[in-house]
Every structure is written in structure tokens, then in C-alpha cells.
């Protein structure tokens, strides 16, 4: 009895936390939306309703297309993601800025056969040896440049291609667990997400991270479907390691996999056996990352940039975002030849912890976390980075673009809230448990370190899946009230996967 109670509590707890986070995001999101006064509430409600109708209509059309010819379905989904984005970058050329500038510059030099040692000695790598995700993504990008042409536009096309692959893989992955309706809706929501549409046309690392993230879910479900296999375990471990090299969030994903397998599946001993290889390989790589980086790049690198991120995230004045004073402190330590990169990271981490302790002592920690959550939940990141990248058209139409981005986010938050409540009432928590853990894990871990709106991009996968699942549950509840004659007709029209 006690065992069942603890399992039930472990099932309910993440869902309740996620509901609280959804409510908190809904309440705080307006504080990051400066153009909210430009439109009436009725206009925004109309746009929100139109978005729901669009998702439902697209789901119906794509489901019918799948029934007609599967190949056309995949082609249409790919074109829906790829074509508008390609037209966008061809129509509105942007510049590589900030980290994106260094990805492009470093990748270009490496593609031109320059060695990492030479780039390091010439100072071209700048701060990349400390923020090793810049080295890793630039390395991947350099291969793309060698194969398809050494230009920023090629890098943009690469990210768009990755986004298309992610959308298709998301459908294939979800079709293993959910109905065709849910898989289709989730892929379509991901495809048309306005803020991410804008952002995915730039040269950020997120498209590659999201592709690897969805690939890891696919491999997880393969293990769940076929049982323990050294091959699938090895592939999952390698995928998580690659994810961590692009953005250090793979631990959140691995923990969610293990918890879900232990809670939802009955044979816990078999589960631990299946994931022991994954955990061991991931931990070994994490511990030896600095050595591995040195073997790959032949230059001294940091093992982690967590110290800097924690240090910036603990800046009460900036709300946990970049500040000049923090940058100056970083450069002072980074340029100190007596300190290694790892020692710089430890020093910054110590300073960050001290900041948090001082805030807790002064009673300012809660207000700081509130400010960080506002910045973290900001759905204007796609707009901001396009404007920063010299897309003037976006700035001139900022009101309508920001309104569409934020209203879409509100719609997703509302549907996710309904989905979570339905999961509790209908006792279907196992269906969404994994994606609930993703949402809670990404959010809570993100609030400890530096925050930006684009850092919540991994939540898009969970938002899309939970919204699709919620819409499908609402559809089934509505069908329960359809008269019997209509039910028979609906049963004929409904495919087995939809039941």
C-alpha cells in the first residue's frame, strides 16, 4: 500500500508543479510584452481562436493526406517547415551577430583548412575555449561549409534543414506512443510556432539541439518498445553526449528518461540494467570532457562554463541576464595567465554561490527568481534576435509580430493547462509523464543560471506534445456527446490509431 502511494505521489507531483509553472508563466508573460496596449483584448482573443481553428484544420487535412498517401504526408510536412523559412531568409537577409557571429567566423576559418591551434594563437577563437559549445557547433558547421559552401546563408539553410528533420522525426517518434492525430498536431504546432519560426532562420545552436533532443526521445521509445539492447543504449548515450556538447542540458533529459522508466514501467531491475550503460557513458564523458576537447582541438579548453552562467544568473541588478560588470569580471579572470579555464570556472561559480547566499540572507531571493522567470519566459526572442540581426522589416511590423508570437504562447499555455487537468481527472498521467518531466526539469534548471528568452526553446517540444494530446482528449470528450447514429458514422471515418 505504501509503495503504491509513493508511486502515485511521484506521478502526481510533476504534473502539479507543471500546472503551477503554467499559471506563473501566464501571469508573468505580459510583463515582458511591451506592445500589449496596441491591440484590444477582443482582437487577441479572435487571433487566439483563429490559431486553434488553424491547428485543428491543419491536423484534419494532414491526417486525411496521410490516409490517402503516406509519402505525400511527409513531403507536405517537410515543405510546410522548409519553404516559408527559405523564402524568409531569401527575402530578408540578416547578419550574424553575437555568438552567431563567432560560430560563422570560426567555422569559415576551419572550413578553409586553418588549424584550431593557429586560430587559438591568433586570438580568433576569442572566448570560445571557455564556452566550448561554440567550438563544438562551429566544428559541425565547418563540415557543412566544406560540403555546401562557405557562407552564412548556407549556415541558415543548415538550421532550416535541421528544423525540417526535427518536425518529421517528432511525428515519427510520437506515432509510436500516441494516436496519429496527436503526432500530427504536435508536429504541426512545432512547425508553425511563430517565435521559433523567426529564430530558426538564424545561426543559433538550438535547431541542432532540438533535433538531437527529439532523436533521444525516439531512441528512448525504441528501448521501451524492444527492451534492453546494447546497441540502442549506446546510440542513446552518444546522442545525449552530443546534445551536451551543443547545450549542457542533456542531464535533464537523461534524468527524465530514468525517472519515467522507473515510475511507469513495472520491471525496475530491467530498467536499471537498460540505462546503466547510458548513465555510465554519459558520466564518464562529462568527467573527461576537458581531456577529450584537448584531444579534438589541441588547445586548452574549459571542462564547463557552468560557473560563468551561475555567476551571471545570480546578478540581482540585471535579473540574471548579461551585464557589463559581469563581462568585465569574466575577462579579468580569463586573461589571467596564471589561471586555467577550469580554475576560472571554479572562481566564477564561487562568486555566483556567494551572490545567492547574500540574496537569501537579505530576503531578496524570491523577487530575483520572479524577475528571472519573466526573462526566461519571454516569447519575444525570435523578434529580438531578428531585429538585432538587422531585419528591419520585423522592427517596422513589431506590433503585429509580437502580438502573434505572444498570443500563440498564451494559446499553448491554456491548452497545456487543460491537458494537465484532464490527465489528472482521467487518470492518464502516464501518457504525458515523460513530457511533464521535461517541462519541469528544463524550467527549474534554467532558473538557476543565466536566463534569456531563447533558453526556453527546449520547452517547445513539450508544449507541442501536451497541446496536441490535450486537443485530442477534448475531441474524444466531445465525441462522447455525439448521438449514437453519428457515432457509428464517426467510427467508420476514424482510423484504428485514433482510438
Integer Cα distance of 243 and 245 in angstroms: 5
Q: What pLDDT does residue 444 have?
A: 93
Low-confidence ranges of the chain (pLDDT < 70): 1-8, 31-39, 266-268, 483-499
| CB-based contact 49:411 (threshold 8 Å) | no
Q: Tell me how long the chain is.
A: 499
pLDDT of residue 492: 44
Torsion 165-168-170-175 (CA) sign:
negative
Q: What's the confidence (pLDDT) of residue 493?
A: 42
| Grid cell listed for 329 | 569580471
Write down the pTM of the prediction: 0.93
Cα distance between residue 55 and residue 192, in whole Å = 9
- Report pLDDT for 488: 54
Helices 230-246 + 206-226 axis angle, to 10: 160
**453 to 166, 195, 199, 379, 382: CA distances (angstroms):** 21, 10, 11, 6, 9
- Closest-CA residue to 135 (of 286, 328, 299, 283): 299
Q: Looking at residue 2, what is its pLDDT?
A: 47
Q: What is the pLDDT, as a whole number, of residue 272?
A: 74
The domain of 355 spans: 2-498
Distance set, CA 160 to CA 45, 74, 200, 300, 307 (Å): 31, 16, 6, 33, 32
Q: What is the pLDDT of residue 119?
A: 93
* Residue 176: predicted pLDDT: 85
Burial of 460 (0-12, 13-18, 19+ CB in 10 A): buried
Crossing angle of helices 429-446 and 250-264, rounded to 10°: 150
Q: What is the total count of domains within the chain?
A: 1
Burial of residue 406, with CB atoms counted within 10 A of its CB: 0-12 exposed, 13-18 middle, 19 or more buried: buried
Indicate the SS3 state at residue 133: helix
Burial class (CB in 10 A: 0-12, 13-18, 19+), 191: buried
- Residue 469, pLDDT score: 96
**Structure confidence at residue 12 (pLDDT):** 85
pLDDT digits (tens, 9 = 90+) for 207-253: 999 999 999 999 999 888 877 778 888 999 999 999 999 998 999 99
CA atoms within 13 A on the CB side of 155: 28
Amino acid at each position: 500500500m505504501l509503495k503504491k502511494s509513493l508511486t502515485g505521489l511521484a506521478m502526481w507531483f510533476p504534473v502539479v508543479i507543471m500546472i503551477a509553472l503554467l499559471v506563473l508563466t501566464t501571469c508573468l508573460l505580459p510583463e515582458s510584452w511591451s506592445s500589449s496596449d496596441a491591440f484590444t483584448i477582443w482582437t487577441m482573443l479572435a487571433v487566439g481562436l483563429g490559431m486553434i481553428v488553424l491547428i485543428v484544420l491543419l491536423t484534419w487535412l494532414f491526417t486525411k493526406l496521410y490516409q490517402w498517401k503516406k509519402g505525400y504526408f511527409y513531403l507536405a510536412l517537410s515543405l510546410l517547415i522548409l519553404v516559408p523559412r527559405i523564402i524568409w531568409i531569401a527575402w530578408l537577409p540578416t547578419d550574424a551577430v553575437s555568438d552567431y557571429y563567432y560560430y560563422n567566423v570560426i567555422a569559415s576559418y576551419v572550413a578553409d583548412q586553418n588549424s584550431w591551434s593557429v586560430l587559438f594563437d591568433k586570438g580568433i577563437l576569442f572566448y570560445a575555449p571557455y564556452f566550448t559549445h561554440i567550438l563544438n557547433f562551429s566544428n559541425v558547421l565547418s563540415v557543412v561549409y566544406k560540403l555546401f559552401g562557405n557562407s552564412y546563408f548556407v549556415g541558415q539553410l543548415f538550421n532550416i534543414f535541421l528544423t525540417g528533420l526535427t518536425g518529421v522525426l517528432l511525428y515519427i517518434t510520437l506515432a509510436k506512443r500516441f494516436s496519429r492525430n496527436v503526432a500530427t498536431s504536435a508536429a504541426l504546432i512545432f512547425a508553425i510556432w511563430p517565435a521559433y519560426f523567426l529564430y530558426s532562420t538564424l545561426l543559433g545552436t538550438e535547431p541542432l539541439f532540438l533535433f538531437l533532443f527529439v532523436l533521444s526521445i525516439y531512441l528512448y521509445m525504441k528501448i521501451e518498445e524492444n527492451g534492453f539492447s546494447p546497441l540502442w543504449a549506446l546510440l542513446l548515450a552518444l546522442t545525449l553526449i552530443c546534445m551536451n556538447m551543443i547545450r549542457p542540458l542533456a542531464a535533464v533529459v537523461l534524468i527524465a528518461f530514468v525517472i519515467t522508466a522507473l515510475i511507469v514501467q513495472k520491471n525496475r531491475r530491467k530498467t536499471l540494467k537498460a540505462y546503466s550503460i547510458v548513465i555510465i557513458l554519459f558520466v564518464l564523458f562529462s568527467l573527461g570532457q576537458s581531456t577529450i576537447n584537448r584531444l579534438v582541438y589541441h588547445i586548452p579548453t574549459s571542462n564547463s562554463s557552468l560557473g560563468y552562467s551561475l555567476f551571471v544568473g545570480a546578478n540581482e541588478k540585471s535579473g540574471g541576464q548579461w551585464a557589463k560588470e559581469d563581462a568585465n569580471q569574466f575577462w579579468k579572470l580569463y586573461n589571467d595567465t596564471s589561471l586555467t579555464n577550469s580554475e576560472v570556472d571554479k572562481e566564477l561559480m564561487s562568486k555566483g554561490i556567494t551572490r545567492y547566499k547574500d540574496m537569501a540572507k537579505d530576503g531578496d531571493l524570491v523577487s530575483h527568481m520572479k524577475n528571472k522567470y519573466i526573462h526566461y519566459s519571454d516569447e519575444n526572442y525570435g523578434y529580438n534576435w531578428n531585429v538585432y540581426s538587422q531585419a528591419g522589416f520585423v522592427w517596422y511590423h513589431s506590433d503585429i509580430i509580437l502580438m502573434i508570437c505572444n498570443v500563440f504562447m498564451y494559446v499553448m499555455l491554456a491548452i497545456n493547462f487543460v491537458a494537465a487537468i484532464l490527465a489528472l481527472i482521467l487518470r492518464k498521467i502516464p501518457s504525458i509523464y515523460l513530457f511533464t518531466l521535461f517541462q519541469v526539469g528544463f524550467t527549474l534548471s534554467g532558473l538557476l543560471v543565466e536566463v534569456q528568452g531563447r533558453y526556453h526553446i527546449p520547452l517547445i517540444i513539450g508544449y507541442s506534445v501536451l497541446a496536441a494530446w490535450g486537443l485530442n482528449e477534448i475531441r474524444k470528450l466531445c465525441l462522447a456527446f455525439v448521438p449514437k447514429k453519428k457515432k457509428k458514422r464517426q467510427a467508420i471515418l476514424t482510423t484504428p490509431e485514433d482510438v
